[in-house]
Structure 1
Amino acid sequence: MTERLAGKVAIITGGGRGIGAGITQRFAEEGAKIAIVQRNVPPENLVNERVIYVKADLANSVHIASAVQTVVERFGGLDILVNNAGVMFEKTVDEMTEADWDQMMDINLKAPFLLTKAAMPHLRQRGRASIVNIGSIEGLGSNPGHPAYSASKAGLHGFTAAVAVDHGHEGIRCNAIAPGWINSDLSEVYIDSLGDSARVRRELLAMHPVGRLGEPKDVGNLAVWLASEESAFVTGQVYVIDGGRTKKLPLPIA
């Protein structure tokens, strides 16, 4: 079977855990050379001759520019940028400080801008490049206590469209993935913190028409397609991947 990303070089921010790790694993399986760019060292099993780790604080513009340059020097170019890294906290407008808001925007929205800006000259040289931004269904709606998170993801969706419009003629495509509930270590900790975790799991499953929760590999599969030439006529789009959750209307019954 042909590797769909053979010979491609990709940066995946936050590629060492959760959704990012799912994307890293699938890109590696499809033949890409990958740089995981994040602040913390990823698990050893993710790093090998095809996957390197580049340390960077994504709230620091100097770190971002340096990380992109390091990847280009190491691998000889850049074909794919996956803006995956993000943060989330639960605070209403009343509870949130200006510093809280700035932190969310710095990581979830400003960092993708700075990474895209730093990567653009190298993507342009390739002529057939792809940017994949990891947004959220909360860029389309919101859970309680998420005004900053929802704003940052809605902003990322808008940024995706604008980059697609401005740079399509240069052979650079830009799309976003909007995941719903995706299983991870953090999601498990969150469920367990709610008390009656068994009930919470049952109710979560009931929200999803497909009858299961998402896995990082599900997002990785879609990211592979968006990064590959199979989606060569696709740009500026936001792809919801949520097991049908946002399409299921609630009914006032138990």
Structure 2
Amino acid sequence: MAALSGLKALVTGGASGIGLAIATAFRNEGAQVAVLDRSDAGPADVVYVRADLSDDDAVRAAVDEAVHALGGLDVLVNNAGVGAQGSVEDSTDDEWHRVLDVNVVGTARVSRAAWPHLRKSEHPAIVNTASVASTAGLPQRAIYSASKGAISALTRAMAADGMPDGIRVNAVNPGTADTPWVGRLLDSAPDPAAERAALEARQPHGRLVSADEVAQAVVYLASPRAGSTTGTELAVDGGMQGLRLRPRS
């Protein structure tokens, strides 16, 4: 039997990148899938609902629409987010508010709207997308790192609050992933090839993480097979956070 057979799932930011890979993997593992995004592009055979995560009314309406279309909700994946570059010295108040409102408060908004529906499920689970930036200090990522650190802490708090309702809450921590956002960063670099090589070398396994690898980790955390796993962060980072290898000769 497929890992998510018969489950109904909502994936935010599921129109591209890691979110698209998650939505596709969920569908392949037997789930009925709804995608909440600002775009309606992405995998076939899924329900699309649109919302800006900074708009609570729009989020509530989109979640209700997705749940109605699916006929219930078992799994929520809070994957949508925005990136930011710069040190704390460079970062403006507007950038702080923009990123935290989407990445952190947006996750809370969707979770808040979905919670009553998840409470009715026999196998309720939430998976948040954090980042290696929440556990390792990366240069020029002050706001982004702070937002993902908040997601890590929020995941544990939500897991504690979810216990009485049987709602498991976990997070996945990708390393630098081969996504459209990273692609745009590389394109804007003075030497894209050298920048890519540097990012690959930063990870012990010597390459960028694939979106599909992250998606498979999310499948596991969302599956009833992980029924005793909650309040956990699963790193998919090629060893970036935990390993300290000698430089390659």
Q: Same fold (TM over 0.5)?
A: yes
Matches within 5 A, 1:64-103: 64-103=59-98
Query: Residue 29 of structure 2 aligns with which residue?
Result: 30
Query: Residue 144 of structure 2 aligns with which residue?
Result: 149
Alignment partner of 1:61 is 2:56: yes
Query: Residue 214 of structure 2 aligns with which residue?
Result: 219
**Aligned residue identity for 1:210:** H
CA distance in 2, matches of 1:26, 1:177: 15
CA distance in 2, matches of 1:65, 1:40: 17
**Aligned residue identity for 1:199:** A
Query: Residue 243 of structure 1 aligns with which residue?
Result: 238
CA distance in 2, matches of 1:87, 1:59: 12
Alignment partner of 1:17 is 2:16: yes
**Aligned residue identity for 2:213:** D
Query: After superposition, what is the alpha-carbon deviation per residue over 1:61-107, rounded to whole angstroms, capped at 9, x for unaligned?
Result: 00110011101111111000000000111133333222211111110
Query: Residue 232 of structure 1 aligns with which residue?
Result: 227
Query: Residue 201 of structure 1 aligns with which residue?
Result: 196
**Superposed displacement of residue 199, structure 1:** 2.9
**Superposed displacement of residue 212, structure 1:** 2.8
Query: After superposition, what is the alpha-carbon deviation per residue over 1:232-252, rounded to whole angstroms, capped at 9, x for unaligned?
Result: 000001111101122343768
**Aligned residue identity for 2:148:** K
Query: Residue 174 of structure 1 aligns with which residue?
Result: 169
1:252–1:244 Cα change, 3 Å: closer
Secondary structure, in 3 states, of the residue corresponding to 2:234? strand
Secondary structure, in 3 states, of the residue corresponding to 2:207? coil
In the alignment, structure 1 segments of 5+ residues that lack a partner are: none
Secondary structure, in 3 states, of the residue corresponding to 2:119? helix
Relative to structure 2, which stretch is displaced further, 236-245 or 207-216?
Answer: 207-216
Relative to structure 2, which stretch is displaced further, 90-99 or 115-124?
Answer: 90-99
CA RMSD of aligned residues (A): 1.8
In the alignment, structure 2 segments of 5+ residues that lack a partner are: none
TM-score of the superposed pair, with normalisation by structure 1: 0.92
Query: Residue 6 of structure 1 aligns with which residue?
Result: 5
CA distance in 1, matches of 2:55, 2:210: 30
CA distance in 2, matches of 1:158, 1:102: 19
- How many residue pairs align between the two structures? 249
CA distance in 2, matches of 1:212, 1:94: 30
**Superposed displacement of residue 178, structure 1:** 0.8
Secondary structure, in 3 states, of the residue corresponding to 2:241? helix
TM-score of the superposed pair, with normalisation by structure 2: 0.94
Secondary structure, in 3 states, of the residue corresponding to 2:10? strand
1:171–1:150 Cα change, 3 Å: same
Secondary structure, in 3 states, of the residue corresponding to 1:12? strand
Mapped contact 2:53–2:109 kept (Cα < 8 A): no
**Aligned residue identity for 1:193:** S
Mapped contact 2:2–2:30 kept (Cα < 8 A): yes
CA distance in 2, matches of 1:252, 1:55: 46
- Corresponding residue to 1:47 among 44, 54, 61: 44
1:195–1:251 Cα change, 3 Å: farther
CA distance in 1, matches of 2:215, 2:198: 25
**Superposed displacement of residue 230, structure 1:** 1.2
**Superposed displacement of residue 117, structure 1:** 0.9
**Superposed displacement of residue 213, structure 1:** 1.9
Secondary structure, in 3 states, of the residue corresponding to 2:59? helix
Query: Residue 190 of structure 1 aligns with which residue?
Result: 185
